[in-house]
Structure 1
């Protein structure tokens, strides 16, 4: 398994100028990563921004991606995602020094204190939080925003050209990218089977990763 951290997150570099972070700044980083690694037979596993960006990659590398595991995410095509997301975007804009660990604990009550501390660890002070602060404002929710054309092209790819295997899991308690958003995405992914529903899963449904991974591997014939 290879799990790259976006720039501004985890162990990756964290530019301190918030303006550095744009949709294509992140996407071009991922493309450079794929080019450098020269991976084949890729199973894309994505959630939240992992999907907003990751779901735009296979169309540029159609011979390298063969499977998809997708959870609580979407593709940015210039549409208003609703009041839940707008409230989150505005909260971050008004509270640029929010505590990441505390946020994760509220959103994912199953986390223990060590796991909460691990989520907070990459951000020892607000200087390191440019990537976190910028993400909500970068979601392509208006037709004029950067990334919309890329998202539209990705929708065409997944609905018309995708020939790989797919598996979808939905955290049913997600107030923004929960069942309605995921059912809409499900309709766009060619030959995507009926989703797995995680009844108590929230937005960060990857924290229920073990049963999801087992179910996906069974679906793919790997177990």
Structure 2
């Protein structure tokens, strides 16, 4: 059965600051027939793949400062937009968006692109989903660059997240640009508007408002079990290099959560602490990417 969806008009993406990247598309992914998934694909096709996964309420634009650093190093950067975000199609029914819907999108993308031995770059939902990949694809990740995120294993996430969940539930048409302007220190009006570009009105926002309710905060929720399995992998089996960057001003996934993630991830070194950065660490992405590449080269 076809999924009703909307497609953000292309002119919403014209002239975005620091965003020269042409979109690429996958249509009719298995299980997602009729939907078009957008992604950025930059750098040499035979380069080491850096897979960048965004969170809420952002899109691949979040990685605009990291992409050129990785490409200059000879890597190929892939940055998909989740369905409901960015230039990807946006199902209009809130109920379409489930943990399995997004997790299946991620694995379908990986298989369609025939990825192997990638550097996973993740933050927010990019990590909530991406960090579970070793359960289904145990040999996929060669290196990990992790920023303000967590594994949602079915435990209570704390007051900060619950406040955010409550805000989104009572504000179904929340102002994405306004939120990003407040959340990013020194963000320009043009940058904030670029984050809001995918959402012309409330009818495009089902996906962006559903993500918080999908976080597995109790053990019976979808995704909790696979996250628990992933936690075992990261703590006992992971042997690749890890680089962690932490935005210290993040009230939900800041230093305390990231300290727990560091303790979980086997062999994770001391993180790069960004005292003036908040949740969206990628806004210092050029600095983070250069530091990660230097660390990985050791």
- SS of residue paired to 1:63: coil
Counterpart residue number, 1:147: 223
Structure of higher RCO (CA pairs closer than 8 Å, 6+ residues apart): 1
TM-score by length of 2: 0.73
Could you say which residue in structure 2 is the equivalent of 1:200? 276
> Structure 1 unaligned runs (5+)?
none
In the alignment, what sits opposite 1:26? 102
Q: How does 1:1-223 map to 2 (within 5 A)?
A: 1-221=77-297
More strand by share: 2
Q: Structure 2 stretches of 5 or more lacking a match?
A: 1-76
Deviations 1:148-181 (A, max 9, x none): 0011011011111112110000000101100000
Q: What is the alpha-carbon root mean square deviation over aligned residues?
A: 1.0
Q: Provide the secondary structure at the position in 1 that maps to 2:289.
A: helix
Give the Cα–Cα distance (whole angstroms) in 1 for the partners of residues 245 and 185 of structure 2. Answer: 19
Question: Runs (4+) of structure 1 moved beyond 3 Å?
Answer: none
Structure richer in helix, relative to its length: 1
Aligned length: 222
Q: CA deviation at 1:64?
A: 2.4
TM-fit CA distance, 1:206: 1.0
Contact (CA 8 Å) 2:185, 2:277: kept in 1 or not? no
Name the SS for the 2:129 alignment partner: helix
Distance in structure 1 (CA, Å) of the matches to 2:271 and 2:137: 25
SS of the residue corresponding to residue 263 of structure 2 reads: helix
Measured after TM superposition, the shift of residue 204 of structure 1 is 0.8
Larger mean Cα displacement after TM superposition, 178-187 or 110-119? 110-119
Shift of 1:143: 1.4
